[in-house]
Chains A and B, each alone.
Chain A
Amino acid sequence: MSKEIVVKAVDVTKLFGTFTALDKVSLEIAKGEVCCIIGPSGSGKSTFLRCINQLEKMNAGAIWVNDELVGYRREGNNLHEISDVEMSRQRRHIGMVFQRFNLFPHKTALENIMEGPVHVLREPIADVHKRAEDLLVRVGLGDKAGHYPSQLSGGQQQRVAIARAMCMRPELILFDEPTSALDPELVSEVLDVMKDLAASGMTMIVVTHELGFARSVANTVAFMEAGKMVEVGPASQVLSSPKSPRTVEFIRAVHG
């Protein structure tokens, strides 16, 4: 069975000063795959995720999204940094959901969702409006279209943020600890939306501490520690019978 690769990361290395945040991290994600990246705080999970849409610049290594090198253009043996406009074009295909939601506070829920398609993709407003309203219904917030982020709970904000990413019709959505900033009782409403999204075939990379979510939704689980990709494999295998002793230890600690 040949599978279409959406993300291919090879030896991604990132330094913050003298600190090595990412040390030759490689990963491959197929179309429709849900990959959860787990690991202790400071292990480089988020940094790796942010390299994929170039919110973080790599020091070495390369990432391809849909077979297109991100952030760089290859000319012979040189990798040239691409322009701001080119970078923006690449990011259109990569959605991102942040730990702190990062909704635009001066825009309503509906305006937040419509912003990208209207002002970046330049699609007709009527089409986008319809799509955005449908998405709000899909994430269970059909009645909140005119609300500003400050009038929504954390869980509602995060669902709007997911709808905002979806409205761009990306080929891939990155989730950076999407439930870490939420009150415990609001976590499940966000995870439910993500499960629905996974079921619809969206390719997702999720940095998370929710091992239950990883177990029930993820195809692949990657365990990172100290900037290294320690173990990658099918979710059931990594979570139930991990090969690396560090993964065993981590999973035991999380389950308490």
Chain B
Amino acid sequence: MTMPAPQAASLDQKYEIAHLTLVPKRHIGRMVTAALVLAALAALVRAFSVGQIEWSYVRDFLFAPAILQGLQSTLVMTVAAMTLGIVLGVVIALMRVSGNPVLSSIAVGYVWIFRGAPALLQLMIWFNLALIFPTMGIPGLFEFRTVDIMTPFVAAMLGLGISQGAYTSEVVRSGLLSVDSGQYEAARSIGMTQMVMLRRIVLPQAMRVMVPPIGNEVIGMVKLTSLASVIQYSEILHNAQIIYFANTRVLELLLVASFWYLAVVSVLSIVQHYIEQYFGRGSKAVSASM
């Protein structure tokens, strides 16, 4: 294409743009809002600093042995309950999508019950199971007293893990559904059995969809373990409570616990980012953002 010949000198000037400067729009509303929010934040910080908080207690108890031991128990419970939750979630999701009507109905029932009842209530039921089943086992083979095995740890793990399984199964199921049917056909066409197809082709692709919500659930689980404090599992909140029952520094100890929850969640968020990158390999959306 060639430029049309200029008609007149004035037109020539009008289209002469090299010396012009672009002036960005000024976002006055944004500045005002930001100032207001910052002011509110400053007021909040000031309130905490002049409030009747003995910050020295927070500092002293931050690394107290009881708190660190509680932190460890919180982490152990998170891993235990989440592992159980993910295993159950995968199994229940596979049952749900299997062609077997009995398995699929059981999976639906499982999600209905364990997603329906509050986690706290489920913890208490497991912890008090001895009231209805004094002994457990297989008759003739082995038997033990329920109170002996249903320790706070076991009860919390079962309560949290089993209810988590109900949620995770829905995440896994949506992951499975997200895999294109052409992938199943391609896997079959190279002679894969169901199991190999699931392990090599379907689950790795489903993971891309599943990792963000499961990461979210792990983070949720870190905090959900605090429920176990009501059945005497010595996680961080429980230990913080024991300390403040003795020294009455309630809020200071609660801040100590908050600090550690935040710290753990921050680390997990970073880990989640890297896991997402790994499972996003080969996908356009992720490679574009890298």
Contact = CB atoms under 8 A, between A and B. Distances in A.
A213 interface: no
Given A104-B183, A119-B200, A94 B189 contact: yes
Contact of B191 (A88, A104, A106, A148): A88
A197 to B, nearest CB: 16
A73 interface: no
A150 interface: yes
Interface string A87-125: 011111011101010111111100000011001110000
Interface residues of B, number: 25
A96 B282 CA distance: 23
Contact of B196 (A94, A100, A104, A120): A120
A106 B175 CA distance: 15
A207 interface: no
B188 A91 contact: yes
A120 B199 CA distance: 12
> Interface of chain B, helix or strand or loop or mixed?
helix
Contact of A148 (B182, B196, B279, B282): B282
Contacts of A96: 185-186, 189
B205 A106 contact: yes
A103 B189 CA distance: 12
Contacts of B27: none
A116 B193 CA distance: 11
B190 A91 contact: yes
A105 B283 CA distance: 7
Interface in B200-255: 200-201, 204-205, 208
B278 to A, nearest CB: 10
The winner among B185, B191, B200, B201 for most chain A CB atoms within 10 A is B191
A53 interface: yes
A168 interface: yes
A116 B283 contact: no
A143 B187 CA distance: 25
A126 interface: no
B98 interface: no
A103 B194 CA distance: 18
Instruction: Determine which residue in A95, A104, A108, A151 has the highest number of CB atoms from chain B within 10 A of its CB, and name it.
Output: A104
A150 B189 CA distance: 21
B14 interface: no
Interface string A149-188: 1110000000001001100100000000000000000000
20 contacts: A53-B189, A55-B189, A84-B193, A85-B193, A90-B191, A91-B188, A95-B189, A98-B186, A103-B186, A104-B205, A105-B283, A106-B208, A106-B283, A115-B190, A119-B192, A148-B281, A149-B282, A150-B282, A150-B283, A168-B190
Closest 10 CB pairs of A and B: A116-B190, A92-B191, A148-B282, A102-B186, A96-B189, A102-B182, A91-B191, A88-B193, A120-B191, A150-B284
Given A150-B284, A161-B186, 10 more contacts: A95-B190, A98-B182, A102-B180, A104-B205, A106-B208, A107-B282, A115-B190, A119-B192, A148-B282, A168-B191
